[in-house]
Every structure is written in structure tokens, then in C-alpha cells.
């Protein structure tokens, strides 16, 4: 560290401070009669004290600064990252030997470099424990995280010890394209292909309905087992609900098995799919998988009532039928016999119309607070529509119509619109909308505005009035006919109708879902992966349906063995939250308790923790990707038996060197407390001597 004193004034100003201090002390003590009999050396001592104190004070008026130059040497940082996923322990034969060799290597490395140690798998952790329990491997996330964390640091190299198998994130080769440090790799695992039967993937619906059959698609592989057989079994609650014998006709066998299973009872149902094991299989963990389905009692029923047949009806029905949660009925107004009470949502296409006021139907809808979607068109009677006072009125002028294109309302917040849908709307044909003055209610939210030719308007093209707690049901409006053209245009652009269908289903699902007016609500996902945290939320309402959290909420969670875990919710912003981390795979029930108006209330439910086996599906090491990752980023690939060679290469790498940093600091002398105390000491000592020698 180098230090020097600088000032914003010329150095010769110090001569004036010296002269001032000398003159002050000289005049004060030269002919002071009080000290005429005092020895000269004593007078000189007091004069010197006064000289020093005045000199220091005068010098501070020059604003002196202490300039410090700090030079720091930073060793190169070697980051060692250990793959901590399950596939490592399955594929590595001598794991204990490996642990010892790595620890010895890192001890040696630390003598020449600064060593940082990490585990990676599901996530990145700054530790090294060799547990090998992570359910996923994400090498690309490791590379980008280390690059970000050590930005502007002297990182010498990243060493990755892995089997090269990754099942999350992008290809690590692409993730390492722009990094500024070399990557060295240590290959682990076994590249030998052994006899193996495995379930690669199970595809299934998340929801099924009681009494219905739901499809399952099982993708299986078999290696080096030509001429052998295996049996696919599906179990539910210990009962075998499906079985099929499969002949393996080649050594690299793949097969897709489609089957259907009946959903026998409601709730979250867990199913186990397994393939019988071969006696010479090395890895049998990948022979089975567990999945769960939420079985519900009934579908939500949608009724479409139209003034007359129209292409829009077909587009709506086909879109809604893509969601198996919904069951759609269609009828014209003149043929209507259905009881509106049986439906979760009624879609009225150009009703009330010029030929049919549909008074009875509208009265039933209003009486039962049934959510309603109005679709207007050239057959609509706007005088009768305005009398409904349902959130939108239209003063239809001169019986004229516009051709309205879509303009997005970016402030719409009731649900999220797919960005891909918004990208294709500029090519959607216009809807035929009534020309006139539009007036929307205070609670009505506009999803899309009308754009007439090139003019953007504030007239709603699609709008929604949310349900409230005063028993006013949800209402939505599509203010023009011709949405069937949107569906066709979606198919022309994307070769499918998914984006249009998703939009219609979002609107329908939002409308059909009623507000839960229960005053005690507890929510937790029905199906949770074992790697995910379990998060509960709870709400309590007073008689006016205002959120409150005056009372405590507790929950008892019971596993399949009958063991009970008790928790207390935390409170935040009138809501209740509970985060309990992860739980083992299995079925759980819960019972939540609180008080409302001094009365005990309880909510019961269940959830299932499903197993994640992705790491055991494929345990054949991918050393090629490790070689390429190192070779393209200035490093090499090593076996853990050649770690000494890796250490020597690190030492020889001319780019891995210490870096010196210089840091300038300017410190104002007025900030040094010791100067104040020095001046105080000098003046105090002088005062004491003057008094002692009879000067005061």
C-alpha cells in the first residue's frame, strides 16, 4: 500500500501556515511579563505546543487529503461443479474411490488457485456432498449461472464432473457459446449398453370423469433383448386394471402402447405402470412409473341457443369440445325445451332477436343468475338487449353495420391472452358489428376493441362483466357475428385451430366458473411432483364477503400410513399462506381448521405426490457431449483416474494467472478523529503548563 498527502492548494502554502504558527507563538510568549522569571526552556515548551496546535489547525484549512493506493492480487478461481443427479450413482461403479480422488485433487488445486465447489442437478448449490439424489440434470443452467455469478472476476476455469446426461435446459454446447473462460470436463458413468427394459414416457390426461374411460399412451424401450417378452401391467389401488404381453423383436426395440382405463371413483387417483423385469437387467428402476389423474364427478354443461342456424355455432361447438371438461348442447330458440338450471353457461347467439324476444328464457337466466355469453349480429334486437341492463347498451343507428377488426386492450387483466394468438389477429377477417353508440357498465372489462378500417375505436368487440358477491352473474359480449372466419384463418396460418379454440375456451371457462361463496376456502394443487414444494393458501370472509384474517388457520396432513403432520398458516395482507417444502411420494389427506364468528369451521381435501424417475430412464453416459463441451471451450476431457494430469494442465495454462487490482482512495484529514484529539491534547497541555507556571 502506497500513501501520500495531497491538497488542492499549492505546496508552498505550507510556508504560510508555518510562518503563521511561528508568529502567533512568538508574539504570545516573547515579552510576556508573567514568565520573566521562568526558565527559557519551559517557555520554549509552551511556545512549541502553541506552534504545533496552530500549525495543525491552519494546515487543515488547506483541505489536505490522504491518497492511498491499494494493490490486491487475486488468485485465479477454479470452479468445480459436481453432477449430483441419480443417474451418476446408477452408472458409476467405483463411487467411493471417485469421492476420495476428487477430494485429494481439490486439496491440491487449492494450493495454487482459489477453489469454489458446487453441486448441480435440480438446482445449483454451493457445496459438495456427493449425495446423488437430484431428479433432474441441467448443465446449461450451471454454465450460465457460473458465468453470471463470476462476471468481472478472475475465473480461471470451470471443471464439470458429469456423465453428460441432461434432461432439463438447452444443449450445454449452445449455452457455452459466449463464455469467457475454459471448460474442463471429468467423464463419469458407463457408456456400455446393457440389457434393459424401460418406460420412457407416459402420456395421459390430467382430468377424467367418473364412469368414463380415459386414454393412456405408454412409450417403452428395450435394449439387447431380442426374442424376449415382457408384460405391461397397470395397477390402481393394488388392483390390476390392465395387462398386455409384449414381444421384443429387435435389440433396439421401441413401442407405443395405447390403452383405456375406466375412472371408477372421484378424487385424485394414482396409477402404477410397470414392465416385468428381465433377470439380467442391471437397472430396474426404470421399469415402472407412477402417475395420477384428477377424477371429477361431472362435466360443466354449456347450452348454445341461437335464433337460427349459423356457421358461428359450429365454430363455437368445435372449439369448446376440444376441452373435455365441457359438454355442449345446441338448440334453436324455437326448439328450446332444456331447463336452463342444468347448465353452467348459456351462449345466446343473436338472442333476443328481431323475430323472437325470448322473454321466458331471459327471465329464467336472470332468475338463476346463470352466466351468459351474448353474441350480437344482424338478427339481434338491440332495443330488447338494452332493457336487460347487463353491462352493455348499444344505440343502434339507422340499422347500419360496420366491419370491425381486432384491437388488443393491453390493460385487460381477467385472464392472460396467448401471445401467439395476438400475433395472428392482424390477418383475421372483420366481424359484422352494429353501427352506433356503445356504453359499457362500470364493471365491464374490454378484452378487444373494434378497429374500423384503419381507425381504432373504444367500442368493445369482446367484453366481460365479472361476477360479484352480490349474486350478479358473469356476462360476456361478442358484439359481432362471423367468428367462424377467425377459426378458418387460424387454420390457414397455423395448420390447426388451437389458438382460436384456446381463446374461446378461456372465455367459456372464465364464465362457467362460479365464485366460491364459501366463507372458508383452502387451496392446494391436487397433483404435485415430488421435486416441487407444497404450497397451501387459505381465505376467510366475513358476512359481507370481505377478506379477514383475525383467526389462526391450522392444518393436519395425514400420509398413507396414518402419520399426522400439523402446521399453522402464516398471515399476509388478509390472506393465509403455508409453505411446507417437499414430502415423500404418496397419497395425503388434509383437514384445515379455523373459526368464523366464534364457530369452528373445517375444510377437508387430499393431494398426491407423484414420483419423478426421469434420471433412471436413461443411464448410458454421454461422453461425446462432455468432449465437445471441453474441446470447443479451450479445455479437455479427463477420466477421474487422470486428475493429476488435469492439475498440471491448469498450472501450465498461460491464461490462468493471478490478476492485480489497484484501488485509489482519497480520505479527508477532517475525518480522522485522532487529529481532533491531538489538537485537544496540545492545547490542553499548554493550558495546564501556563496555569501551573502562573500564567492564568
| 180 contacts 147 by C-beta, under 8 angstroms | yes
Domain of 166, in residue numbers: 76-192+620-657
Give the pLDDT of residue 695: 58
Q: At what angle do helices 483-494 and 498-512 cross, to 10 degrees?
A: 140
> Of the residues 271, 296, 321, which one is the last residue of a structural domain?
296
Residue 696 clears pLDDT 60, i.e. is over it: no
Residue 153 clears pLDDT 70, i.e. is over it: yes
Give the pLDDT of residue 578: 95
Only one residue has cell 455469478, namely 149
Same domain? 585 vs 471: no
Residue 375 clears pLDDT 70, i.e. is over it: yes
Residues near 563 by Cβ (< 8 Å), separated by ≥ 6? Answer: none
Q: Rounded to 5 degrees, what are φ and ψ at 468?
A: -125, 180
Region 116-143: mean pLDDT is 92
| 204 contacts 291 by C-beta, under 8 angstroms | yes
Q: How far apart are CA 36 and CA 603, in angstroms?
A: 101
Q: Is 307 left (phi over 0), alpha (psi -120 to 50) or beta?
A: alpha
Same domain? 563 vs 678: no
The pLDDT tens digits of the residues spanning 465-490 come to 886 545 468 899 999 999 999 999 99
| 320 contacts 328 by C-beta, under 8 angstroms | yes
Same domain? 316 vs 440: yes
Give the pLDDT of residue 642: 93
Same domain? 101 vs 202: no
Mean model confidence pLDDT for the chain: 89
Region 347-367: mean pLDDT is 94
Same domain? 85 vs 135: yes
**Domain count across the chain:** 5
The pLDDT tens digits of the residues spanning 444-458 come to 999 999 999 999 999
Domain with residue 389: its CATH number is 3.40.50.880
Give the pLDDT of residue 219: 93
The pLDDT tens digits of the residues spanning 558-568 come to 998 999 999 99
| 588 contacts 606 by C-beta, under 8 angstroms | yes
Residue 6 clears pLDDT 90, i.e. is over it: no
Give the pLDDT of residue 469: 46
CB < 8 Å & 24+ apart, contacts of 98-103: 98/188, 98/640, 99/130, 101/640, 101/641, 101/643, 102/161, 102/640, 102/643
> Residue 15's CB: how many other CB atoms inside 10 A?
10
Give the pLDDT of residue 620: 84
Same domain? 96 vs 24: no
- pTM passes above 0.75: no
| Beta bridge partner(s), residue 211 | none
| 436 contacts 394 by C-beta, under 8 angstroms | yes
Same domain? 505 vs 405: yes
615 falls within a domain: no
Closest CA to 504 of 345, 341, 309: 345
Q: How far apart are CA 356 and CA 379, in angstroms?
A: 10
The pLDDT tens digits of the residues spanning 47-98 come to 888 889 988 888 888 888 887 777 777 889 999 999 999 888 775 667 888 9
Residue 661 clears pLDDT 70, i.e. is over it: no
Amino acid at each position: 500500500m502506497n500513501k501520500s498527502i495531497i491538497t488542492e492548494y499549492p505546496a508552498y502554502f505550507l510556508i504560510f501556515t508555518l510562518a503563521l504558527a511561528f508568529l502567533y507563538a512568538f508574539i504570545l510568549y516573547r515579552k510576556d511579563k508573567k514568565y520573566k522569571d521562568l526558565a527559557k526552556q519551559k517557555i520554549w515548551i509552551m511556545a512549541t505546543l502553541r506552534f504545533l496546535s496552530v500549525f495543525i489547525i491552519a494546515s487543515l484549512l488547506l483541505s489536505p487529503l490522504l491518497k492511498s493506493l491499494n494493490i490486491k492480487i487475486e488468485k485465479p478461481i477454479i470452479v468445480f461443479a459436481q453432477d449430483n443427479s441419480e443417474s451418476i450413482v446408477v452408472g458409476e461403479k467405483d463411487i467411493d474411490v471417485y469421492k476420495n480422488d476428487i477430494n485429494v485433487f481439490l486439496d491440491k488445486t487449492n494450493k495454487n488457485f482459489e477453489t469454489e465447489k458446487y453441486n448441480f442437478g435440480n438446482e445449483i448449490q454451493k457445496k459438495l456432498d456427493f449425495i446423488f439424489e437430484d431428479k433432474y440434470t441441467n448443465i446449461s443452467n450451471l454454465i450460465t449461472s457460473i458465468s453470471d455469478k463470476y462476471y468481472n472476476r478472475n475465473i480461471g476455469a470451470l471443471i464439470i464432473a458429469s456423465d453428460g446426461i441432461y434432461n432439463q435446459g438447452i444443449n450445454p454446447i449452445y449455452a457455452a457459446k459466449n463464455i469467457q473462460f475454459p471448460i474442463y470436463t471429468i467423464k463419469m458413468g458407463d457408456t456400455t449398453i446393457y440389457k434393459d427394459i424401460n418406460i420412457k414416457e407416459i402420456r395421459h390426461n390430467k382430468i377424467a370423469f367418473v364412469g368414463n374411460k380415459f386414454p393412456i399412451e405408454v412409450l417403452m424401450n428395450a435394449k439387447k433383448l431380442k426374442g424376449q417378452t415382457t408384460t405391461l401391467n397397470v395397477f390402481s389401488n393394488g388392483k390390476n386394471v390392465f395387462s398386455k404381453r409384449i414381444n421384443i423383436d429387435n435389440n433396439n426395440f421401441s413401442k407405443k402402447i395405447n390403452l383405456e382405463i375406466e375412472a371408477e371413483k372421484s378424487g385424485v387417483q394414482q396409477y402404477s405402470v410397470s414392465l416385468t423385469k428381465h433377470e439380467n437387467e442391471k437397472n430396474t428402476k426404470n421399469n415402472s412409473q407412477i402417475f395420477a389423474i384428477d377424477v371429477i364427478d361431472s362435466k360443466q354443461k354449456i347450452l348454445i341457443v341461437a335464433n337460427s342456424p349459423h356457421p358461428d355455432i359450429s365454430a363455437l361447438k368445435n372449439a369448446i369440445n376440444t376441452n373435455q371438461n365441457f359438454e355442449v348442447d345446441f338448440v334453436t330458440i324455437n326448439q328450446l325445451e332444456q331447463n336452463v338450471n342444468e347448465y353452467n353457461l348459456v351462449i345466446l347467439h343473436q338472442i333476443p332477436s328481431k323475430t323472437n324476444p325470448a322473454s321466458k328464457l331471459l327471465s329464467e337466466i336472470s332468475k338463476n343468475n346463470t352466466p351468459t355469453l351474448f353474441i350480437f349480429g344482424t338478427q339481434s334486437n338491440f332495443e330488447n338487449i338494452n332493457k336487460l341492463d347487463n353491462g352493455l347498451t348499444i344505440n343502434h343507428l339507422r340499422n347500419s353495420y360496420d366491419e370491425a377488426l381486432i384491437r388488443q386492450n393491453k390493460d385487460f387483466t381477467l385472464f392472460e391472452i396467448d401471445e401467439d394468438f395476438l400475433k395472428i389477429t392482424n390477418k383475421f377477417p372483420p366481424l359484422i358489428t352494429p353501427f352506433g353508440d356503445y356504453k359499457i357498465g362500470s364493471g365491464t372489462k374490454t378484452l378487444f376493441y373494434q378497429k374500423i378500417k384503419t381507425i381504432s375505436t373504444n367500442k368493445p368487440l369482446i367484453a366481460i362483466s365479472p361476477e360479484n358477491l352480490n349474486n350478479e352473474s358473469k356476462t360476456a359480449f361478442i358484439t359481432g357475428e362471423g367468428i367462424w372466419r377467425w377459426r378458418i384463418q387460424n387454420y390457414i396460418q397455423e395448420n390447426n385451430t388451437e389458438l382460436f379454440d384456446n381463446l374461446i375456451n378461456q372465455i367459456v371457462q372464465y364464465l362457467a366458473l362460479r365464485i366460491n361463496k364459501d366463507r372458508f376456502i383452502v387451496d392446494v394443487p391436487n397433483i404435485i411432483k415430488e421435486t416441487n414444494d407444497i404450497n397451501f393458501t387459505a381465505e376467510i370472509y366475513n358476512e359481507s364477503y370481505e377478506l379477514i384474517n383475525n383467526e389462526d388457520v391450522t392444518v393436519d396432513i395425514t400420509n398413507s400410513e396414518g402419520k399426522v403432520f400439523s402446521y399453522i398458516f402464516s398471515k399476509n395482507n388478509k390472506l393465509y399462506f403455508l409453505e411446507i417444502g417437499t414430502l415423500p411420494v404418496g397419497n395425503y389427506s388434509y383437514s384445515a381448521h379455523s373459526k368464523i364468528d366464534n364457530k369452528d369451521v373445517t375444510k377437508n381435501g387430499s393431494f398426491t405426490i407423484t414420483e419423478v424417475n426421469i434420471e433412471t430412464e436413461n443411464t448410458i453416459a454421454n461422453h461425446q457431449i462432455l468432449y465437445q463441451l471441453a474441446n470447443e471451450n479451450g479445455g479437455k476431457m479427463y477420466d477421474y483416474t487422470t486428475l493429476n494430469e488435469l492439475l498440471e494442465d491448469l498450472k501450465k495454462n498461460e491464461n490462468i494467472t493471478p490478476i492485480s487490482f489497484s484501488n485509489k482512495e482519497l480520505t479527508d484529514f477532517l475525518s480522522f478523529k485522532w487529529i481532533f484529539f491531538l489538537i485537544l491534547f496540545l492545547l490542553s497541555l499548554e493550558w495546564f503548563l501556563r496555569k501551573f507556571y502562573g500564567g492564568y
